[in-house]
Amino acid sequence: MIKKAYLKDINQYKGKEILIEGWIRNKRSSGKIQFLIIRDGTEEIQAVAFKPNLDEKIFKLCEHLTLESSVRIYGLVRADKRAPSGYELDITNIEIIQIADEFPIQKKEHGVSFLLDNRHLWLRSRKQNALLKIRHAVYYAICEYLNKNGFYRFDSPILTPNACEGTTTLFEVPYFDEGSAYLSQSGQLYLETGIMSLGRVYDFGPTFRAEKSKTRKHLTEFWMMDAEAAFVEHKENMKIQEELIRFVIRSVLKKNMKELSILKRDVEKLKKADSPFKIITYKDMIEILQSKGLKIQYGDDMGVQEEEMVTEDSDVPIFVEKWPKEIKAFYMKIDRENPDLSLCSDLIAPECFGEIIGGSQREDDYDILKARIEEENLPIEDYQWYLDLRKYGTVPHSGFGVGFERLIGWISGVKHIREVIPFPRMINRLNP
Nearer to ligand 4AD, 77 or 201 (CB): 201
Nearer to ligand 4AD, 211 or 233 (CB): 211
Nearer to Mg ion, 92 or 184 (CB): 184
Cβ proximity of 262 and 127 under 8 Å:
yes
User: Does 356 interact with ligand 4AD (rule: CB under 6 A)?
Assistant: yes
Q: Residue 401: enclosing H or E segment and its boundaries?
A: strand 397-403
| Distance in angstroms (rounded) separating the CA atoms of residues 146 and 386 | 24
Closest CA to 138 of 226, 229, 250, 258: 250
From the list 400, 411, 419, 420, which residue makes contact with ligand 4AD (rule: CB under 6 A)?
Answer: 400
Give how far Cα 379 sits from Cα of 12, 172, 371, 376, 390, Å: 63, 16, 12, 9, 18
User: Does 358 interact with Mg ion (rule: CB under 5 A)?
Assistant: yes
User: Does 242 interact with ligand 4AD (rule: CB under 6 A)?
Assistant: no
Other Cβ atoms less than 10 A from the Cβ of 178: the count is 8
| Distance in angstroms (rounded) separating the CA atoms of residues 73 and 96 | 8
Could you tell me which stretch among 108-116, 246-254, 295-303, 395-403 binds ligand 4AD (CB under 6 A)? 395-403
Cβ proximity of 65 and 96 under 8 Å:
yes
Rounded to the nearest 5 degrees, what angle is found at the Cα of 336, between the Cα atoms of 332 and 342? 30
Say how many residues touch Mg ion, by CB under 5 A. 1
From the list 88, 355, 363, 419, which residue makes contact with ligand 4AD (rule: CB under 6 A)?
Answer: 355
Measured torsion, CA atoms of residues 205, 215, 408, 150, in degrees rounded to the nearest 10: -40
**Nearest-CB residue for Mg ion:** 358
From the list 18, 38, 132, 164, which residue makes contact with ligand 4AD (rule: CB under 6 A)?
Answer: 164
Closest CA to 17 of 72, 56, 58: 72
User: Does 399 interact with ligand 4AD (rule: CB under 6 A)?
Assistant: yes
User: Does 405 interact with ligand 4AD (rule: CB under 6 A)?
Assistant: yes
| Distance in angstroms (rounded) separating the CA atoms of residues 51 and 289 | 67
Q: Provide the minimum distance between the beta carbon of 62 and Mg ion in the complex, in angstroms, as a whole number.
A: 54
Could you tell me which stretch among 233-241, 260-268, 353-361, 376-384 binds ligand 4AD (CB under 6 A)? 353-361
From the list 194, 317, 350, 359, which residue makes contact with ligand 4AD (rule: CB under 6 A)?
Answer: 359
Q: Provide the minimum distance between the beta carbon of 344 and ligand 4AD in the complex, in angstroms, as a whole number.
A: 9
Cis previous bond, 432, omega within 30: yes
Q: Provide the minimum distance between the beta carbon of 359 and ligand 4AD in the complex, in angstroms, as a whole number.
A: 5
Could you tell me which stretch among 77-85, 188-196, 357-365, 392-400 binds Mg ion (CB under 5 A)? 357-365
Q: Provide the minimum distance between the beta carbon of 284 and Mg ion in the complex, in angstroms, as a whole number.
A: 18
Give the footprint of ligand 4AD on residues 191-220 (CB under 6 A): 209, 211, 218-219
Other Cβ atoms less than 10 A from the Cβ of 241: the count is 24
Could you tell me which stretch among 7-15, 312-320, 354-362, 363-371 binds Mg ion (CB under 5 A)? 354-362
Pairing type for strands 87-98 and 44-50 reads parallel
Q: 351 in the Ramachandran plot: left (φ > 0), alpha (ψ -120 to 50) or beta?
A: left
Could you tell me which stretch among 100-108, 140-148, 376-384, 402-410 binds ligand 4AD (CB under 6 A)? 402-410
User: Does 403 interact with Mg ion (rule: CB under 5 A)?
Assistant: no
Please give the backbone phi and psi of residue 73, each rounded to the nearest 5 degrees, phi first: -120, 130
The binding site for ligand 4AD (CB under 6 A) comprises 164-165, 186, 188, 209, 211, 218-219, 222, 224, 226, 355-359, 399-401, 403, 405-406
The binding site for Mg ion (CB under 5 A) comprises 358
